Amino acid sequence: MKITLLTMEYPPMVGGVGNYYAGLVRHLERENIAVKIVVLSNNMRWWQVLWKVIWLRADYLWIGQILPIGTAAYLISKIRRQKYFISLHGMDINLALAAKPNITQKILTDATFVTANSEYTKSLISANIASEKVIIIYPSPNINEQVDSAIEQTILSQFKLKDNKILLSVGRLVERKGLQQVIALMPQLLKNDQTLIYYIIGKGEYQPELDQLILDHQLTDHVMILNNINNEELKIFYLHANLFIMPTIAIKEDVEGFGIVYLEAGLYNTPVIATPVGGVKEAVIDQQTGLLCSPEELLPSIIRLLTDSDYANKLGKQARELIKGKYSYSKQIHKLIDQIENGKQ
């Protein structure tokens, strides 16, 4: 069995989609399914993708982005009956259906099968493709849990993680992550606890707005955006954070399809606060692995989890148990393998 993954997102590029693919590839190869990875430039047009990949031979082309890569795969399938399957994540299919509904429909129809990262994402194509042709492959944390003790001591000292209450957010710095809401609440939170520090780890085009908000609220000692934290260092932030928070908002077609970072935090017994937007409701189980709340409920929810350690610890423990069970790679990878094998027949 030979599979070729065509994607515009893959490590070392930072991001949940790339990590999703890397984890699945690693576990497929453990099951003796070879995967060739072709990383394409994110500014390529469909005809450029076609020219680059038409010569590839595989049992399956695995399409990482429905547009423009799916267009090339669809045309190749008409030329030589090439099988392909598509992985969808939420925002990608929303944008594709809005921008190019006709070709998107053809790509979906011609695919051997489609994977979605959540029931929410699957629901976005319910009118376009038969339900039985779509399988849910949930993201799983692509993390080696163990931390390096020397790195841990350095990070603890440098960022004062042991002596303060730590709020943490991780992800691309875009408006829909909702981090501006947390920054705006910090002055009120600091009235209750002056030891509170909010670390935001990530990069993105929305950083200037966040930086300005930090200045406007005079929070430079209590809110810090870190752009260059590597994966080993990130694990230590997850481990020592009191609370992980990412209150996403929906902006037109740009909606959170799942949110792997919620699971990464939960893997370290860290409780989370989120908003019930898109696929987030599947990543965070309200009052079981974290709290789902409206923007108006953010302040009291944060205060509750920072002051009620027993409840916070309970949520964190239950989050880890869920991730080790339902969202483990061992659970997810065999669903994908079964579909690959069935489609081969």
Predicted pLDDT at 330 = 85
Are 46 and 76 in contact, with CB atoms under 8 Å apart?
no
Of 188, 168, 147, nearest to 244 (Cα)? 168
Q: Find the length of the chain.
A: 345
Same domain, 237 and 200: yes
Residues 83 and 175 in one domain: no
Write down the pLDDT at residue 345: 52
Instruction: Give SS3 for 92.
Output: helix
Is the model's pLDDT at 168 over the cut of 90? yes
pLDDT tens digits for 40-99? 998 999 999 999 889 888 999 999 999 999 999 999 999 998 999 999 998 899 999 999
pLDDT band per the 50, 70, 90 thresholds, residue 13: confident
Per-residue pLDDT at 231 exceeds 70: yes
As a whole number of angstroms, the distance between CA 89 and CA 278 comes to 11
CA–CA separation, 324 and 12 (whole Å): 25
Residues 83-108: pLDDT tens digits? 999 999 988 999 999 999 999 999 99
Tens of pLDDT, residues 120-163 = 999 999 999 999 999 999 999 878 888 999 999 999 999 999 88
| DSSP 8-state code for residue 150 | H
**What is the C-alpha separation between 261 and 170, in angstroms, rounded?**
7
Angle at 263 between CA 259 and CA 267, to 5 degrees: 165
In this structure, the answer to whether residues 88 and 38 fall within a common structural domain is yes
Same domain, 175 and 298: yes
How confident is the model over 186-212, as a mean pLDDT?
Answer: 97
Clarify whether residues 76 and 102 are in a common domain: yes
**Residue 342: what pLDDT?**
86
Higher pLDDT: 244 or 192? It is: 244
Residue 143 has a pLDDT of 80
Which CATH number characterizes residue 45's domain? 3.40.50.2000
Q: Are residues 112 and 157 in the same domain?
A: no
In this prediction, residue 253 carries a pLDDT of 82
Same domain for 113 and 200, yes or no, is no
Do residues 78 and 225 share a domain? Answer: no
Q: How far is CA 10 from CA 25, 105, 215, 306, in A?
A: 11, 26, 34, 35
- Could you check whether the bond before residue 68 is cis, i.e. omega within 30 degrees of 0? yes
Reported as a single tens digit per residue, the pLDDT across 288-310 is 999 999 999 999 999 999 999 99
Q: Does 102 share its domain with 193?
A: no
Q: Residue 337: pLDDT above 70?
A: yes
Q: Of all residues in the chain, what percent carry a pLDDT higher than 90?
A: 86
Percent above pLDDT 70 for the chain: 99
Amino acid at 264: E
Which of these, 337, 345, 335, lies nearest to 117 by C-alpha position? 335
Shared domain for 303 and 181, answered yes or no, is: yes
What pLDDT was estimated at residue 254? 84
Position 1 scores a pLDDT of 85
Find where tokens 């908003």 sit.
Answer: 275
Mean pLDDT for 162-170 is: 95
pLDDT of 59 reads 93
**175 and 111, same structural domain?**
no
How many domains would you assign to the chain? Answer: 2
- Domain containing residue 25: 2-140+329-344
To which H or E segment does residue 36 belong? strand 34-39
Q: Does the pLDDT at position 343 exceed 80?
A: no
Beta strands in 143-252 (DSSP E): 165-170, 196-201, 223-226, 243-246
pTM, two decimal places: 0.91
Q: Check whether 344 has a pLDDT greater than 70.
A: no
Contact in structure between 193 and 163 (CB atoms under 8 Å): no
Residues 115 and 186 in one domain: no
The chain-wide mean pLDDT, for the chain, equals 94
pLDDT, average across residues 28-38: 95
Q: What are the structure tokens assigned to 166, written together?
A: 């730590």
